[in-house]
């Protein structure tokens, strides 16, 4: 019994002393494996989309906030064409850039989806966070990409979730 207690204590200390998970939603390995070279002479159509995101919402009063996890879904809705994402820049409630998720173009194959996850404890965006996503698609008949934000949280027995949709602004 004493051996079991010591083993359990050592295991507990090992888990308690381990490094907490990073709150960095940037996955450079994912973006590096999707790197794409785009020539200025390619006949691609440029576009820019706006997506509202909520890392926090108000609860009861303007002085109490509820933290949310946000999944930013980046989707290629074409079943034949590859598309290219040039940047996905995250801004806070005041319009200040928080981070850009990739510094060079990435590709999405036909019907492919990738995500950006903003951890629940990352409240750097605040209640009015948003993304500007720049992209390029083949000029002939390719539908524009689809961008959605799925916000969710579970606390005790209460859960909340909702979706926002990107809007093309250019």
Q: Comparing C-alpha atoms, which of 56, 167, 67, 71 is closest to residue 116? A: 71
Encode pLDDT of 57-71 as tens digits.
988 898 888 899 999
Whether residue 101 is predicted with pLDDT greater than 80 in this model: the reply is: yes
Report if residue 63 sits inside a domain: yes
Number of domain units in the chain: 1
Query: Which CATH number goes with the domain that contains 115?
Result: 2.60.290
Q: Tell me if 16 is assigned to some domain.
A: no
Most confident segment among 6-20, 37-51, 120-134, 148-162: 120-134
Which residue did the predictor score with more confidence, 121 or 29? 121
Distances (CA, A) of 139 to 32, 43, 63, 84: 25, 6, 48, 12
Domain residues for the domain of 154 are 49-168
pLDDT of res. 24 = 53
Question: In this model, does residue 114 exceed pLDDT 80?
Answer: yes
């Amino acid at each position: 019994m004493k051996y079991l207690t010591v083993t359990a204590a050592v295991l507990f200390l090992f888990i308690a002393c381990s490094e907490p998970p990073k709150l960095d939603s940037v996955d450079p390995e994912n973006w590096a494996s999707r790197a794409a070279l785009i020539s200025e002479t390619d006949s691609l159509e440029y576009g820019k989309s706006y997506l509202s995101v909520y890392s926090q919402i108000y609860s009861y009063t303007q002085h109490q906030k509820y933290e949310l996890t946000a999944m930013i879904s980046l989707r290629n809705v074409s079943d034949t064409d590859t598309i290219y994402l040039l940047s996905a820049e995250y801004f806070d409630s005041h319009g200040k850039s928080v981070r850009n998720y990739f510094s060079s173009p990435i590709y999405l194959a036909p019907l492919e989806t990738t995500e950006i996850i903003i951890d629940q404890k990352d409240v750097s965006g605040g209640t009015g966070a948003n993304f500007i996503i720049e992209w390029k698609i083949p000029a002939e008949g390719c539908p524009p990409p689809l961008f959605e934000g799925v916000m969710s949280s579970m606390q005790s027995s209460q859960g909340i979730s909702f979706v926002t949709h990107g809007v093309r602004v250019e």
